[in-house]
Amino acid sequence: MRPSKCLRCGSTKLDQGLLPIPFNLHPVNYKSNNQRKLSSSATVEATMCLDCGHLDLYCDPQEVKRRLK
């Protein structure tokens, strides 16, 4: 669940995005050690506070649970 306000300073000036791997168009992904080997990884979403710079990361738990053994 993406935050509606900054967890650090309380600001509502937030920017949504992804963390792309340098020199690659694909975003950073999360893959559990207990995940089935052939399943794909889950996308990590990012929210940055435009006032203090705090960066919050989110990965959909239901997406990860579907991929577990």
Reported as a pLDDT band with limits 50, 70 and 90, residue 5 is very high
Reported as a pLDDT band with limits 50, 70 and 90, residue 53 is very high
Greater pLDDT, 25 or 52: 52
Copy the structure tokens of residue 11.
Answer: 């600001």
Contact between 37 and 52 (Cβ < 8 Å): no
Largest pairwise CA distance in the chain: 41
Domain boundaries, the chain: 14-67
Taking residues 25-49, report their average pLDDT: 79
Reported as a pLDDT band with limits 50, 70 and 90, residue 38 is low
